[in-house]
Structure 1
Amino acid sequence: MIQFLLSPWWIIPILVASFLLARWFYKHRGYQKITALLVGLRFFSLAILATLLLKPIIEYVDSSTKKPILTVLFDYSKSIFNAVDSNKVSSDYELFSSQLQNQLGEDYQLEFFYFGEGVSSKTSGFNNNQSNISGAISRVNDLYDQKLQAATILITDGIVNQGNVLEYIPTGPKAIHVIAVGDTTSIADLTIADVRINGRTYTNNLFPIKVKWTKENLGDTPFTIGLYSGKELLKEQQVNAASNAGFITFYHSEKIPGNYLYQVVLNAPKTEEQQVANNQKYFSVRVIEKEKTVGLVYDRPTPDVGAFAQSLKKLADYETKIVSLDELNQSQLNKWDALVFFSSKGIPETRLKPIKDFYDAGKGVGLFIRDANQAATLSKLGFPSVQLETTLQENLVYAKPNDDYQGLDIRPTWKNFQDIHPLKIKLGTPKLASGYQHIFSQKIGSLDTDLPLLSSHQIGNKKLLVSLAWDWWKLRMSFYRSFESHEDFDVTINQLVQFLANRSEREQLQINIPDQFYSDARQTVTAEVLNNSGAPVNNAVLLFEFSKQGEELFKMEFIPTGVNYKLNLSGLSPGKYQYTATTTVEGKKLSKTGGFIVLPNDREIQDLRARHKELRKFAQKAGGEFFPIEEGAKLIARLKDQPAPKIYQAQINRSEIVKWKPICILICLLLGVEWFLRKLKGNI
């Protein structure tokens, strides 16, 4: 098909003009056969040249047949390596890979990937600290067009500790076949399954440390669980239980504020355990001074207020005050360290001004709003802007945790918020001012989005939380139904309130670093430098020195971003660290000291029993087949027996006629013949 970049209607005047010009050129010769031939040659030359100015393009379809893509995902997490059959897993992987290439390489385009917490086309061994099967499948689906994919082969032990569990992994139109590795046999094993603590507490306050233990195939053999600080045994309890799981609780206190690193160790000398790496677990606690008072304010009664009050009463030494907006007075506000306001309707600016004054005084405020008019009113008052372009229609969304969030001490319990119970939110596209960080984003069905659900904002000592959802009380109840405990929900609410309640004077040098993070986390430290007038300084030289318990001192330099300063602190070994940050502003030397704790990521050694039963169900749901790796050849044979689907791909190609060499040759030929005939007949 021929197309023109300019209007093709120009061809008609081009032909007319070309003919008239050619005839005018030979008008003095009258009509002769040779003259008619010369006019025709000149006409075609002019017409072709003028038509090329319209930029004609020829479009044609190029059809081809391609091999369908067969993606293969190998699990390279530590649970594979630590399993009982770890010595042969690597050779099984290599054998299966070679069988795929030898028997299916001609019919399929094989694409191999290796996953743990991430996905890569190359492997560095069984050293991934987490298993994210849903993330690996999603990543592969994003890389390739679903129309070109034939199927996916997943080789794993089914142990999941990041992303969606197998039951909730979304499947597409293409089959996912499962090759199962690992050992499903229940071995003799004792495990510290979980340690539940409140991440922050107060000096001289007894705080609970709830330890969950499990055991398999060990009968009623007694064992002890000890609480350690370094090598010092602080407390110990003996467990004599016939059940396969249970809890014990330690109560401990510290007199001096700071970060404390603890270790829980399970000791069972008379057992025949085959796996002892999961007999210990590290955790840390931040000890701070002074009891805080938090006000929960509402414009109309809502169960969410009660849920927050119960969470704070259960896990923290907060004095919690519940007050309606009508009863709120300045005397109460002067005694509070933080305020959480639950709004369900539009409120006049004058009634909200005391809350704005509370915020301006450097006290943390949480705004749980659901109304667009209410958001507009708060923005007019001077709170960091929140715009809700919403409708009256309500939507159900899940809370998706943001693992890269910097403002709070993120705990593993946050991941449990995903897929537990949806929250209600007004349907629309919220817009927040710059400076907000998302704590939770909206997950709509199985679709992860970047739309804010719960966000924080902090400038100096002004701290703000903004929630756009409600029915948090239902989420708390769902935690109890799922885990027989509110604890994960309560710990998270406690962290949010601690973020609001903990005040610090606005210092010229501010370092934002979590109290603790995992050794394999991508950890970024941020900093802010102010001059003597309180204005940001964006070109300071900011040094960061840190060491681990008196070991070698490391020196790094923050990178200015134009807004603040950033430093990558990833890849540190587990332990307790102290740091000093220094800079000079307007001739004044500023320094900041502190500490943080790096925890080992031990999720991959907590439970090494392969989940073949769950993998079989997942394969059925995904339209695929299930085989243990010893029978992997059967899957290859079935795929070989099934004719590979033919992928026809049509590609539209374009070619500019002006670039064709034959056109150039034709024009030269027409002009050359015309010139030759004129010379032959005596320069007609």
Structure 2
Amino acid sequence: MSIETVLYIILAGIVALLLALFQYKYKVKSMSKQYMLFAFLRFITIFSVLLLLINPKLDQLQLTTEKPKLLVVVDNSNSITQLKQDANAKEVVENIRSHSNLNNKFNIEYFTLGKTLSTSDTLTFQDKQTDIASALDALQDIYKDDVAPTILISDGNQTFGSDYEFTNYSNPVYPIILGDTTHYVDLSIRQLNVNKYAYLKNKFPVETILVYNGKEAVNTVFTVTSGEQTVYSKNISFSETQNSEVLNFTLPANHVGTSTYKAHLKPLDTEKNTVNNIKNFAVEVIDEQMNIAVISTFYHPDLGMLKKSIESNEQRSVTILKPNEIKSKLNDFNLVILYQPNNQFKFIFDAIKAENKNAFIISGTHTDWFFLNNQSNVYEHDITAQSEVYQGVFNTNYSMFIVDDLNFDMFPPLNSSFGDLTFFGPYETLLYKKYGNLTTEQPLLATFEINGRREALLLGENIWQWRAQSFLNEKSFHMFDNFVGKLIQYLASTKRKTRLILDFESFYEGVNNVIIKAQFFNKNYEFDGRETLQIKVKNKETDEETELPFVLKNNNYQVDLSHLSASNYDFTVSAINEKISKSGSFTVLEYNVEQQFLNANVSKLNVLANKTSGTSYFIDSYDSVFNELISSKKYTSIQKSTKTTQGLIDWKYVLGIIVFCLSLEWFLRKYNGLT
């Protein structure tokens, strides 16, 4: 309490005393005991009121000692077991827990990392992916303002995410390296490339890259088997200088359906890791091909993009033609794509209407909207002499077929004619127009179905930039090509829509999510989100059955079967209320990227330690990191002071005293007949 407050309290006592004496001593020349009691009660009342106004407070200073944090991050991936370092990792963690000096100096927090960072300290070493970079980024966000040296117990082998060697982690990292730098003799199938689809009675190409790590000349055999039958075999020789081999061969596609194959490189007697000598792959054999015509009066990068994207599915073939080149060939194609049509397309539109063919129309800055408006009785576009650029915004309620959002609003804008598009019948918008930061209700990509004929309309050119941007985002064309493929499949199909549609892969690699999607439609073929869908999955090898419900997500139902082990499965999806079901089959291929490592990635862990001003240690000398952390003056406890201000009086009690004194004074005065 400050001196100023004390002086105020003393002054308040003097003022209260003077006022009390003035009120009673001034009126009478001599004070009786009765008047002295009245003066005392008045003094207490006035002093209490002044005390409430002063409200004296007391400052308290509390000192606390805060220890620095020590983060212990343990690699919980399967590669630790593969390198036989799981027992060493557990030993390090237990020694940290029991190290008294370390626990006295630091507040220790434990984490595990696999594909994601977890606060759990349970070590199972079952994670099938390792992302060290994202784990460090997560810790950086949490402890960016703290002194938090980090012990990273890992083999340094990362299978997922960005390279942790270039992390911006601000706290020192002390890697404890699980494994050694010994280079073992090893044969491996580094990569195997094969198309997902093949045509019946044809041969499909296979490319594989074989790698040898060793100094002596060795001989081995590469084989490909389907079931118990060997379909390809070749003797391979390696040496220290000739340490890789690229094989290109073809395999026959003899029956329709999914065929599973196993590529096997015969291991050496001294090999430590034989898991990477085997790769499984599968091919879906189909007996029909879809022919698609892209028609344009001029050349444009969009034409090549359409051909590349559509033909990424081997069951589709694209031919680029000028309008006068298709007159006698129209019936040879399942679908026609009309790129920026003008009056030269007149006979094509007449033939499409006469034969009720599906079409995909792409407009742009060279589109003749006078002509196109006259050809369509479904829509009409405003005719202006201006052009504009629009981005696309995905419609999550689109229900004609299952499609994923590729972050279209982040793609480059498309060039299009300025103006509104008016529909005269039912349609569904797949992508809305976005102008600057304004998302409109105008369609950029829409589909509709009239009298059994399907059509799609895209209002924009330079879609080739979308495919390029998708590659930059995903490091692959697969996502964008899959989007285009689903649109083409919808347009090229002449079958009537079924009420239950399934979307699944014929085979999945073990490290990937096994996701099956479904759509259910009511009797008017409108998407129905009220239905209950269930899936029954049967393992064809063990006859084990699993039944799970689907979860509604945006415009489709989904079920995650990632827990399934590698095997062949049959499944049935059932709509419970409508008694509708549909079946299929898929294969989960056995593949664990964590089992492909032979030793620790010492160089990257050393770079990480040096970059963050830490030190790396091998597992044999890991206790040295404890001594360094304990003796380091960089990590010291911090004494913090906390100042709290607390009132000395409780206003409730003081108010009670005031009321009591005034009431008692009033009662005594009345009792004695005083006014």
* Alignment TM-score, normalising by the size of structure 1: 0.69
Paired residues of 1:115 and 1:131 also in contact (CA < 8 A):
yes
Q: CA deviation at 1:520?
A: 5.3
Q: 1:181-215 CA distances to partner (integer Å, 9 max, x unpaired)?
A: 21221111111222222223333342222222211
Match of 1:107 among 89, 105, 116: 105
User: Counterparts of 2:610 and 2:442 in 1: how far apart (Å)?
Assistant: 46
User: Counterparts of 1:457 and 1:30 in 2: how far apart (Å)?
Assistant: 101
SS of alignment partner, residue 247 of structure 2: strand
The 1:490–1:69 alpha-carbon spacing in structure 2 relative to 1, beyond 3 Å, is same
> What residue in structure 2 maps to residue 191 of structure 1?
188
The 1:90–1:176 alpha-carbon spacing in structure 2 relative to 1, beyond 3 Å, is closer
The 1:316–1:45 alpha-carbon spacing in structure 2 relative to 1, beyond 3 Å, is same
User: Counterparts of 1:302 and 1:28 in 2: how far apart (Å)?
Assistant: 108
> What residue in structure 1 maps to residue 332 of structure 2?
none
Q: CA deviation at 1:276?
A: 1.2
Q: Which amino acid aligns with 1:285?
A: V
TM alignment of 1:152-231, pairs within 5 A: 152-168=150-166, 170-217=167-214, 219-231=216-228
> What residue in structure 2 maps to residue 620 of structure 1?
610
Paired residues of 2:200 and 2:287 also in contact (CA < 8 A):
yes
Q: Which amino acid aligns with 2:157?
A: I
Q: CA deviation at 1:604?
A: 1.0
Q: Does 1:574 align with 2:566?
A: yes
Q: Which amino acid aligns with 2:258?
A: N
> What residue in structure 2 maps to residue 601 of structure 1?
591
> What residue in structure 1 maps to residue 288 of structure 2?
290
Q: CA deviation at 1:111?
A: 0.9
> What residue in structure 2 maps to residue 394 of structure 1?
none
Q: Which amino acid aligns with 1:220?
A: A
Q: CA deviation at 1:666?
A: 1.5
Paired residues of 2:294 and 2:318 also in contact (CA < 8 A):
yes
The 1:222–1:92 alpha-carbon spacing in structure 2 relative to 1, beyond 3 Å, is same
Paired residues of 1:78 and 1:127 also in contact (CA < 8 A):
yes
Q: 1:143-163 CA distances to partner (integer Å, 9 max, x unpaired)?
A: x33212422221211111111
User: Counterparts of 2:632 and 2:602 in 1: how far apart (Å)?
Assistant: 25
Q: CA deviation at 1:259?
A: 2.6
Say which is worse superposed, 457-466 or 515-524, in terms of deviation: 457-466
> What residue in structure 1 maps to residue 134 of structure 2?
135
SS of alignment partner, residue 623 of structure 1: coil
User: Counterparts of 1:384 and 1:661 in 2: how far apart (Å)?
Assistant: 69
Paired residues of 1:130 and 1:603 also in contact (CA < 8 A):
yes
> What residue in structure 2 maps to residue 233 of structure 1?
230
> What residue in structure 1 maps to residue 265 of structure 2?
266
Say which is worse superposed, 211-220 or 345-354, in terms of deviation: 345-354
> What residue in structure 1 maps to residue 499 of structure 2?
508
> What residue in structure 1 maps to residue 412 of structure 2?
370
> What residue in structure 2 maps to residue 662 of structure 1?
650
Say which is worse superposed, 39-48 or 492-501, in terms of deviation: 39-48
User: Counterparts of 1:175 and 1:610 in 2: how far apart (Å)?
Assistant: 20
The 1:595–1:650 alpha-carbon spacing in structure 2 relative to 1, beyond 3 Å, is farther
Q: Does 1:69 align with 2:59?
A: no
Match of 2:517 among 518, 526, 529: 526
Task: Give the share of equivalent positions with the same residue, in percent.
Answer: 20
Q: 1:263-286 CA distances to partner (integer Å, 9 max, x unpaired)?
A: 211114x54212212211122223
> What residue in structure 2 maps to residue 498 of structure 1?
485
SS of alignment partner, residue 81 of structure 2: helix
TM alignment of 1:356-505, pairs within 5 A: 370-371=412-413, 374=416, 383-388=429-434, 390=436, 489=476, 495-503=482-490, 505=496
Paired residues of 1:312 and 1:490 also in contact (CA < 8 A):
no
Based on CA coordinates, which of the two structures has the bigger radius of gyration?
Answer: 2
User: Counterparts of 2:115 and 2:567 in 1: how far apart (Å)?
Assistant: 22
The 1:653–1:492 alpha-carbon spacing in structure 2 relative to 1, beyond 3 Å, is same
> What residue in structure 2 maps to residue 634 of structure 1?
624
> What residue in structure 2 maps to residue 592 of structure 1?
582
User: Counterparts of 2:471 and 2:134 in 1: how far apart (Å)?
Assistant: 28
Aligned length: 584
Paired residues of 1:58 and 1:654 also in contact (CA < 8 A):
yes
> What residue in structure 2 maps to residue 325 of structure 1?
340
Paired residues of 2:362 and 2:457 also in contact (CA < 8 A):
no
User: Counterparts of 1:171 and 1:467 in 2: how far apart (Å)?
Assistant: 40
User: Counterparts of 1:63 and 1:375 in 2: how far apart (Å)?
Assistant: 71
Q: Which amino acid aligns with 2:78?
A: K
Paired residues of 1:41 and 1:674 also in contact (CA < 8 A):
no
SS of alignment partner, residue 173 of structure 1: coil
User: Counterparts of 1:128 and 1:364 in 2: how far apart (Å)?
Assistant: 30
Say which is worse superposed, 218-227 or 560-569, in terms of deviation: 560-569
Q: Which amino acid aligns with 1:159?
A: N
User: Counterparts of 1:315 and 1:219 in 2: how far apart (Å)?
Assistant: 43
Q: Which amino acid aligns with 1:217?
A: G
Q: CA deviation at 1:38?
A: 6.2
SS of alignment partner, residue 188 of structure 2: strand
Q: 1:55-83 CA distances to partner (integer Å, 9 max, x unpaired)?
A: x9999997744222221111121212112
Q: CA deviation at 1:669?
A: 1.9
Q: CA deviation at 1:244?
A: 1.9
Q: 1:314-373 CA distances to partner (integer Å, 9 max, x unpaired)?
A: 884643345753578473996998969697x7978778889999xx99899999963377
The 1:463–1:339 alpha-carbon spacing in structure 2 relative to 1, beyond 3 Å, is closer
Q: 1:363-387 CA distances to partner (integer Å, 9 max, x unpaired)?
A: 9999996337749969877633435
Q: CA deviation at 1:288?
A: 3.2
User: Counterparts of 2:650 and 2:430 in 1: how far apart (Å)?
Assistant: 67
The 1:223–1:477 alpha-carbon spacing in structure 2 relative to 1, beyond 3 Å, is farther
Paired residues of 1:546 and 1:578 also in contact (CA < 8 A):
yes
SS of alignment partner, residue 274 of structure 1: coil
User: Counterparts of 1:362 and 1:216 in 2: how far apart (Å)?
Assistant: 52
The 1:86–1:167 alpha-carbon spacing in structure 2 relative to 1, beyond 3 Å, is closer
Q: Which amino acid aligns with 1:628?
A: F
SS of alignment partner, residue 114 of structure 1: strand
User: Counterparts of 1:458 and 1:38 in 2: how far apart (Å)?
Assistant: 93
Q: Which amino acid aligns with 1:668?
A: G
Q: CA deviation at 1:594?
A: 0.8
The 1:606–1:558 alpha-carbon spacing in structure 2 relative to 1, beyond 3 Å, is same
The 1:116–1:145 alpha-carbon spacing in structure 2 relative to 1, beyond 3 Å, is closer
User: Counterparts of 1:515 and 1:380 in 2: how far apart (Å)?
Assistant: 41
* Alignment TM-score, normalising by the size of structure 2: 0.70
User: Counterparts of 1:383 and 1:235 in 2: how far apart (Å)?
Assistant: 49
User: Counterparts of 2:447 and 2:277 in 1: how far apart (Å)?
Assistant: 40
Unaligned segments of structure 1, at least 5 residues:
2-18, 391-427, 437-454, 480-486
SS of alignment partner, residue 150 of structure 1: coil
SS of alignment partner, residue 140 of structure 2: helix
Q: 1:280-302 CA distances to partner (integer Å, 9 max, x unpaired)?
A: 11222233343234566899976
User: Counterparts of 2:89 and 2:503 in 1: how far apart (Å)?
Assistant: 42
User: Counterparts of 1:152 and 1:374 in 2: how far apart (Å)?
Assistant: 54
> What residue in structure 1 maps to residue 660 of structure 2?
672
Unaligned segments of structure 2, at least 5 residues:
2-15, 29-34, 322-338, 380-397
Paired residues of 1:155 and 1:180 also in contact (CA < 8 A):
yes
Paired residues of 1:379 and 1:386 also in contact (CA < 8 A):
no
